[in-house]
Homo-oligomer: A and B are copies of this chain.
């Protein structure tokens, strides 16, 4: 049973609804989203199999999820390294960044070297509000993620993929197929083209909102903030 998907437009509307009538703050939602991402990393790569996690963060909310995830990864015993070249001026992002600095988590500007020294990468560059244009300095980063043998976990979307139509037909993301994806709140239509391991996270959906947006309540277990679901891609592995 494939989970129903959430379009980019509806994902934005749902986020707005959670933060207005739903009464969530962005701090809360981002904390829970980033926590979900960190738990997906733990499932894919327990610390005993390599602790060096490179977290690549974009300038928006997807990057914010990466910042939160990195903090939790540190608490789980990982050694995160941040690549966050376009730092947001927004107060929340500055605070999330400060929280990482206080844990002595290093920030790098040299993505290729950091990638060589990583056991796993988190792609938190672009999420459901990606516009279709990969701006500097991210084209080379996405090419490196496409070509690396280091396992990649994408947050909400493989960066550069179109949310509705999936893998781009040209540009740096052509051929980029990460090994794992964690969809936040609900899978986006792009999962149809995704062939790796697939997790859903963000355990805060109400039944009413799920119904309104035509979504399934994911089959979470115990206190887990994520659940692995069957690959929905046509060419599933």
Q: Please report which residues of chain A, range 1-54, place their CB below 8 angstroms from some CB of chain B when the two chains form the complex.
A: 22-25, 27-28, 31-32, 35, 38-39, 42
- Bound together, the chains give a CA A220 to CA B39 distance in angstroms of 14
Copies, count: 2
The interface residues of chain B lying within 8 Å CB-to-CB of A131 are: none
In the assembled complex, how far is the CB of residue A36 from the closest CB belonging to chain B, in whole angstroms?
A: 10
- Top 8 A-B pairs, shortest CB-CB distance: A23-B98, A27-B27, A23-B95, A25-B27, A75-B203, A31-B31, A102-B206, A27-B28
Query: Pick the contact of A42 from B23, B32, B94, B223 — CB < 8 Å?
Result: B223
14 contacts between A and B (CB under 8 A): A23-B94, A23-B99, A23-B102, A25-B25, A25-B92, A25-B95, A27-B31, A31-B31, A31-B32, A39-B223, A42-B223, A75-B220, A76-B223, A103-B207
Give min CB distance, A216 to chain B, whole Å: 14
A234 interface residue, CB < 8 Å from B? no
Determine the chain B residues whose CB is within 8 A of the CB of A23 once the complex forms. 94-96, 98-99, 102
* Dominant SS among interface residues on chain A: helix
Cβ-defined contact, B204 with A75, below 8 A: yes
Docked complex Cα distance between A161 and B72 (Å): 32
A208 at the interface (CB under 8 A from B): yes
Q: How far is the CB of A27 from chain B (nearest CB, A)?
A: 4
Given contacts A103-B206, A206-B103, contact A95 B24 (CB under 8 A): yes
Q: Determine whether the beta carbon of B39 is less than 8 Å from that of A208.
A: no
- Number of chain A interface residues as a range: 20 to 34
A75 to B94, CA, bound (A): 30
Q: Does A222 reach chain B (CB closer than 8 Å)?
A: yes
Chain B residue contacts of A32, Cβ below 8 A: 31
Find out whether the CB atom of A22 lies under 8 angstroms from the CB atom of B223: no
User: CA separation between A23 and B23, bound complex, in Å?
Assistant: 22
Closest to A96 in B: B23
CB < 8 Å: which of B95, B102, B208, B222 contacts A208? B102
- Complex interface: chain B residues within 8 A of A35 (CB): 35
